Amino acid sequence: MAGKRIRVLLADDHSKVREGLIHLLEQFPDFEIAGQAIDGQEAVRLARELMPDVIIMDVVMPRMDGIDATRIIHSELPQVQVLGLSSSEDAEHAMRRAGAVDYICKTAPSDAIIEAIRNCGSSLSKQQ
């Protein structure tokens, strides 16, 4: 994706997780933080409004969980790539069924998260 930054929306109800992801992603010039959501409802609203390239979506959140939010986003905005994020690997199948293109455990090394986002970015450039 020469020259184009990957716009990332972070959806997690824990501010420390969002802050950690922001700190990580800001180290790479090919990423841009498009926005932050604290629950699934806000993730859906911001996805519609901001049209990010990638959403890092926590599974367990208040008001609307990441599985339902992913299902809505995938049906309305199929070009937006959703990466499931959780402290457990138990929800991977449900997130993928809802439309997530990948699933990352919160305990995964930083380079795995970066690679997953870049893989989504690569598939975006192929769609264009």
pLDDT digits (tens, 9 = 90+) for 35-69: 999 999 999 999 999 999 999 999 999 999 999 99
Q: What is the mean pLDDT of residues 17-30?
A: 95
pLDDT for res 38: 97
Residue 27 CB contacts under 8 Å (≥ 6 apart), including other chains = none
pTM value is 0.92
pLDDT digits (tens, 9 = 90+) for 64-122: 999 999 999 999 999 999 999 988 778 899 999 999 999 999 888 999 999 999 998 76
Query: Domains in the chain, ordered, with CATH?
Result: 6-127 (3.40.50.2300)
**Is-contact 57 84, C-beta < 8 A?**
yes
Phi, psi dihedral angles at 43 (to 5 degrees) = -60, -45
Instruction: Round to whole Å and give the CA distance between 120 and 84.
Output: 12
Closest CA to 56 of 93, 27, 90, 14: 14
Cβ atoms within 10 Å of 7's Cβ, excluding its own: 19
Which tokens sit at 88?
């457990």
Torsion of the alpha carbons at 38, 69, 93 and 85, rounded to the nearest 10:
-20
